[in-house]
Structure 1
Amino acid sequence: MDSILDQFNQSLGNLGTKLQGWLNSLIVNLPDLLLAILVLVVGIYLTKRMQNYFYRLISRFSDKETVNRLLSNIATALFFLIVLFIVLSILGLDTALTTLLGTAGVAGLAVGLALQDPIVNLFAGIMMSMRTFFKIGDLVETNDFFGVVEKISLRSTILKTLQGQEVVLPNKNVYQNPLKNYSTSGERRIDLSCGVSYGDNLENVKQIAISAIEDNLDYNNNRPVELFFTEFGNSSINFTLRFWTNSGNQKNYMELQSNAIIAIKKAFDANDITIPFPIRTLDFGIKGGEKLNEVISAGWLEKGNGNGTD
């Protein structure tokens, strides 16, 4: 019984010694502790002020609310991390913080490798927001998809195709691949390919086709209507007619293209200009060949002789 009491009294003595040592250490380090608390309070106050400052600064370069908030929060977290490092340095715990940061860095690397694609999509969304390549409502073509931009987020871009389907594209694919924006310039060029008969006067064809566009369509008359003959085809002499529209809307584009085809067809019919069907000309009178009438006559003669012998 006495040994138990002695052991208990010894433990109380050790505890008292420990508490006395901690108290002495606290008294010795009290100035550093007060300074660290003061720095921490000032740092928290400055962190709140810096968050608003970072947001206003980033908003000068981007008008995307979500991206601005995200970047300002990241910058604020880094600022507070610096404040925390200063506080722990005052308390002599900077070595522990360095060890903790190293451990967090290794863990962050592992998480980054596991979430590589989402992180890449996130940063691609941020970069796309900083530089305006397109906006909601634009008609674009990218990654073999053609449609109107419906939604832009930090992870993906959603297109609505002209057939009505929604396509979700990761921002990484949109950022790293070519993109055509048909709405940025506010104008588009329509190219029509056609052909006329070899017997038609090409100068008249050119004049009549251009007049058909100029007299019947509401096109961009600040740019000229152009026609270029391109090749001698199997059945026709082919040409390309080009003119511009002020609308980037796909429906208006297709309506104007359709009206142009109608106008050219009417003009050609009115002026007896032929758009030929695919044809093949057989000429047995070429050098080294035989004339068609001689071949037919020979065939009938041979047939008659054959009937006479049966």
Structure 2
Amino acid sequence: MKAEIEKPIDIVIGKIDGWIDGFISMIPNMIVAVLVFIIFMLLAKWGKKLAVKLFSKTSSNTALKNLLSTVVHGTIMGLGLFIILGILGLEKAVTSLLAGVGVVGLALGFAFQDIAANFVSGVILAFRKPFRIGDVIEINNVMGKVLRTNLRVTVLETFQGQEVFIPNKELLQENIVNYSSRSHRQIIVESGVSYAEDLEQVESVVRDAIGKMEGLIRKDEIVFDYDEFGGSSINFNTRFWIEYPGEPGYLNMKSKAIKAIKKALDENGITIPFPIRTLDFGIKGGEKLSQMLVNQDEED
């Protein structure tokens, strides 16, 4: 009975002695692992600063800069972790860890496809720079000033004061109209005059009125063209250039141009007609309006 009790005790003591011997034999490796950990911590810190410095020369996107520095820091520390596990003889743990990371990454990729697409699009937009903060852009019939951008969305402020959050994926896939990328913009004013007017006189009056406005650039490039024979008028377009963005603003200058054209046409006795609709009840057997009035008078 005594021998049966001593046997398991000897096994336990042997296991403990083995663990102690193993721990003692691992002390040099553990010391090396600690040193490697400290070295990689310093390398990660230095690499993070270097990434921020290099990225700042190519882009001012703060969100992307922080992300890049975090990725560099994490990559260096991850490499250090794998080396440390190898020094400690935990190669199987390294294999299991890599396999786990692969499976998790694949699962997350399927689960967050849109988020990943917006993230990648945000990175690409940060380098391509199709617009900057403060630019006036238009995408998918939404027009406004760029307030801020991050790795998921870009925020526009419309001229009505609302904030619109646009996923970066759409900005990369759709056409972007950037009204601030050039230093000028053309204004088009549409109008019309009566069929009875002298068209040469109309053009001269309108060109003179626009040319006298303050805030125009390229005054020799004012364009006047007749567009069509309308239902009650001969329609024309007047095109001219202004500084953009600048003061006076686009809408202000367009309003001034409309008032200047209207005033000039009035002063020269030129008519801007409005649509006139004639109602004829005599078509296809109906009774004409004039006959209806006659019949009404006779009844009275």
TM range (shorter): 0.7 to 0.9
Following superposition of structure 1 onto structure 2, how do residues 171-182 of structure 1 map, counting pairs within 5 Å?
171-182=168-179
Decide which of 35, 39, 43 is 1:38's aligned counterpart: 35
> Aligned equivalents of 1:8 and 1:155: distance in 2?
67
1:187 aligns with 2:187: no
- Aligned positions, number: 285
Q: Unpaired segments of 5 or more residues in structure 2?
A: 279-287
> Aligned equivalents of 1:68 and 1:139: distance in 2?
24
Task: Confirm or deny: 8 A CA contact 2:219 2:240 kept in the other structure.
Answer: no
Task: Confirm or deny: 8 A CA contact 1:236 1:276 kept in the other structure.
Answer: yes
> Aligned equivalents of 1:7 and 1:222: distance in 2?
111
> Aligned equivalents of 2:5 and 2:141: distance in 1?
81
What's the CA shift string for 1:63-114, capped at 9, x where partnerless? Answer: 1222211111112211222222222233332332122211221122212322
Identity of aligned residues (%): 38
> Aligned equivalents of 2:198 and 2:144: distance in 1?
42
Task: Confirm or deny: 8 A CA contact 1:150 1:158 kept in the other structure.
Answer: yes
Counterpart position of 2:254: 257
| Change beyond 3 A, Cα 1:35–1:218 | closer
> Aligned equivalents of 1:142 and 1:135: distance in 2?
15
Larger Rg belongs to: 1
Counterpart position of 1:148: 145
What's the CA shift string for 1:36-55, capped at 9, x where partnerless? Answer: 44333322222222221122
Decide which of 253, 260, 275 is 1:278's aligned counterpart: 275
What's the CA shift string for 1:226-248, capped at 9, x where partnerless? Answer: 11122233333222110011133
Q: Unpaired segments of 5 or more residues in structure 1?
A: 282-295
TM-score normalised over the length of structure 1 = 0.79
Task: Confirm or deny: 8 A CA contact 2:232 2:276 kept in the other structure.
Answer: yes
Counterpart position of 2:227: 230
Following superposition of structure 1 onto structure 2, how do residues 209-248 of structure 1 map, counting pairs within 5 Å?
209-221=206-218, 224-248=221-245
What's the CA shift string for 1:252-295, capped at 9, x where partnerless? Answer: 212211111111122112222222333589xxxxxxxxxxxxxx
Aligned-residue RMSD, C-alpha: 3.1
> Any idea what SS the aligned residue of 1:216 has?
coil
| Change beyond 3 A, Cα 1:248–1:223 | farther
Amino acid at match of 1:105: G
